Amino acid sequence: MKIIVHFLIILCLAVSGYAQPKQASATLKGKLAHFGAVATLEDFSEIQYMVPKSYNKVIVPEVDSTFAITIPLKEPGYFRLGRNKLYLSPGDDMQVLIDHADASKSTFIGQGSIANNYLRNVPFPKGGSFLEAGKNLQDTPEETLLFLLKIFQQKENELAALKNIGSAFRKLEKARNKADLVNSMLSVKSYAAYKLKKEPKEKITAYTETFDRISKPVKDSLLNNFANPSYLQIEVYRDIIDELDLSNLTPSFKQAFADWNNAYTLAYKKIKPESNKAMVPGYKKDIQAIRSKKYRDILNLLVMDKLKFGNGDQAIDFMVYKTDGTKTSLSNLKGKVIYIDIWATWCGPCLAEMPNFEKLKTEYANRSDLAIVSLSVDDNDPVWLENLGKRKPEGIQWRIDRAKLTEYGVETIPRYILIDKSFRIVEMDAPRAADPALRRILEKLLISTN
């Protein structure tokens, strides 16, 4: 009798689906469009800037651009593949088309597709979210604010209409939408300065000051009680973290924010920029002081990876596209000091720095032993070439698929790299063009005569 009962219990569990544990992985298979020879599936969660170069998954598609990859996964999380944001959960199994040139053209079919089809149209934080790299900046501050609020409400309605998504994903995406609106308002100043650069300075100042004044009540309302460590999974939320009030949180929330901030600061501002490899192991003591085991484990991997490639090492060569569509390589500049500015047309801070970059080229125009390289990580040639056509910059203009810069750990831009005449890395994270420190370094490197 006991055997029969035991058998019936097992049978009932099997029929109800509970006998099969959820697979601790997610599978993607399909096609990659406009990616080139390789693609990188990047962790886009709160550990994004803590992970070492080798942590992310490199995808090498077949000749016909097809691919298949299974990602070990213990819990749901955000990833990035090209310009597509992905939300993957254990058990997801999707047939996909991922379009690097236009995320909105990507398609997802299968388990997990509803969330990922929704994510095709979320804005890009580094482009000022709803401002779309300044394209949506309106003629007046009042019109800009109304436009941003309209887009925000459209996204709210779109999310509310979604069926069959988990409550956790819905909550995170509602937080993303709020953070995107805050980010949009904070980005108006930099994009207005670029878009209105031909206008008198007084007009630009009046525009931004008026916008700050009329948008402040909206921004304050959005930020009220918006501090929740679970939202750190969202990249745009991390971008606005300095706007949050963390003073009245519960002890557990305070500790979670403190752990993340300490780990992020240690990884992104200390370990990754560290120019002396001999100093890297010394950070292990600081790592052990962080309470979160997850962050400690990631940071220890970062230390190991940092010891592999950095300042003083021979530069790793890469191929680039020239403005005429042909290819060349970084190594063709061997024998010169090489200063590289990594930028994109959608990057407001990059565009704001361009006048200083052009000034630097003018200052050193007579130095044939210095190559000043403008390296775009735009997704395609037309947008990049259109920007160059409008600005008409001088000198070396190249474009590269960002995945090919994996060894250099290019996670945010603008980013600058300095290489000496022997093709060795001087600074993986060099000073920007406006920084006097750059001139001092260049003068030491440019010791040979023309």
Calculate mean pLDDT across residues 35-50: 87
Here the tokens at position 325 are 């569509």
Average pLDDT over residues 299-317: 88
The rounded percent of the chain whose pLDDT value lies above 70 is: 94
Q: What average pLDDT does range 30-46 have in this prediction?
A: 87
Determine the pLDDT at residue 448: 53
* One domain for residues 302 and 323: no
Please give the residue range of the domain that contains residue 73: 21-98
pLDDT category of residue 20 using cuts at 50, 70 and 90 = very low
What pTM was estimated for this model as a whole? 0.71
Look at residue 109 and tell me if it is in a domain: no
Residue 139 lies in a domain: yes
Residue 9 located in a structural domain = no
189 and 209 share a domain?
A: yes
Residues 323 and 301 in one domain: no
Cβ pair 123, 181 in contact under 8 A: no
Q: What is the DSSP letter of 101?
A: S
pLDDT value of position 189: 94
Q: Residue 111, SS3?
A: strand
Mean pLDDT of 400-413: 80
Asked whether residue 4 is domain-assigned, the answer is no
**Average pLDDT value for the chain:** 89
Residue 379 pLDDT greater than 80, yes or no = no
Q: Looking at residue 309, what is its pLDDT? A: 79
DSSP, res 70? E
Is residue 17 scored above 70 in pLDDT? no
Q: Average pLDDT, stretch 301-306? A: 88
Question: Given 98, 113, 145, which residue is the final one in a domain?
Answer: 98
Burial 277-288 (b: 16+ CB within 10 A, else e): eeebeebeeebe
pLDDT of residue 125: 87
Q: Pick the more confident residue, 256 or 125.
A: 256
Residue 161 class from Cβ within 10 Å (0-12 exposed, 13-18 middle, 19+ buried)?
Answer: exposed
Residue closest to 230 by CA, chosen among 61, 77, 403, 87: 77
